[in-house]
């Protein structure tokens, strides 16, 4: 299940004991629409090993600015609150899992 994060809960959520993936997206972004369902599948596959979340950049501009998100979709990976990885743009499921494996 992909959890929605925002300004209110972001800092809390990224401190989780399992690594946290945050998908920065917006409703007007085509590639984001395609990445969404792929990340849903990733969430199922990595259940218990990684938390998959998404953040709407239109509604949460401060966080987007803080992490220098200048192109979406951007995916950030956090480990106990620290940013450990980022990738930009759509990626197929296998490539995402491969990238995430080193963090879990």
Partner 1 sequence: MSERYDIAIVGSGPAGITAAINAKIRNKKIILFGYENLSNKLYLAPRIDNYVGFHGIRGKELAEKFKAHLDEMDIEITYERPDNIYAMGDYYAIMINGKLYEATALILATGIQFGKPFRGEAEFLGRGVGYCATCDAPLYKGKTVTIIGYNKESIEEANYVSELAEKVYFVPMMKEEYSLNHNIEVIQDKPVEIVGSTKVEKLVLKNSEIQSDGIFILRDSVPPDQLVPGLLVEDAHIKVNRDMETNLEGCYAAGDVTGKPYQYLKAMGEGQVAALNAVAYLERRKLNSDGVSNPTEGK
Q: Which residues are catalytic, by number?
A: 29, 32
Interface residue with partner 1, options 85, 93, 97, 103 (CB under 8 A): 93
> Which residues in the 21-60 window bind partner 1 by CB under 8 A?
26, 28-31, 34, 37-38, 41, 57-58
> Rule CB under 8 A: is residue 72 a binding residue for partner 1?
yes
Cα-based torsion angle of the residue sequence 78, 97, 91, 89 in order, rounded to the nearest 10 degrees = 10
32 and 25 in contact (C-beta within 8 Å)? yes
17/102 with CB nearer partner 1? 102
> Rule CB under 8 A: is residue 82 a binding residue for partner 1?
no
Instruction: Give the separation between CA 25 and CA 82, rounded to whole angstroms.
Output: 20
Where b means 16+ CB within 10 Å and e means fewer, 81-97 reads eeeeeeeeeebeeeebb
- Number of residues counted as binding partner 1 (CB under 8 A): 27
Which residues are at the interface with partner 1 (CB under 8 A)? 26, 28-31, 34, 37-38, 41, 57-58, 64, 68-72, 74, 87-95
């Amino acid at each position: 299940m992909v959890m929605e994060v925002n300004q209110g809960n972001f800092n809390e959520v990224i401190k989780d004991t399992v690594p946290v993936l945050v998908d920065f997206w917006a409703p007007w972004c085509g590639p984001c629409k395609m990445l969404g369902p792929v990340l849903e599948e990733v969430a199922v596959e990595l259940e218990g090993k990684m938390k998959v979340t998404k953040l709407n950049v239109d509604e949460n501009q401060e966080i987007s600015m803080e992490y220098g998100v200048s192109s979406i979709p951007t995916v950030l990976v956090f480990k106990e609150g620290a940013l450990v990885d980022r990738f930009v743009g759509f990626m197929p499921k296998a490539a995402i899992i491969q990238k995430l494996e080193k963090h879990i």
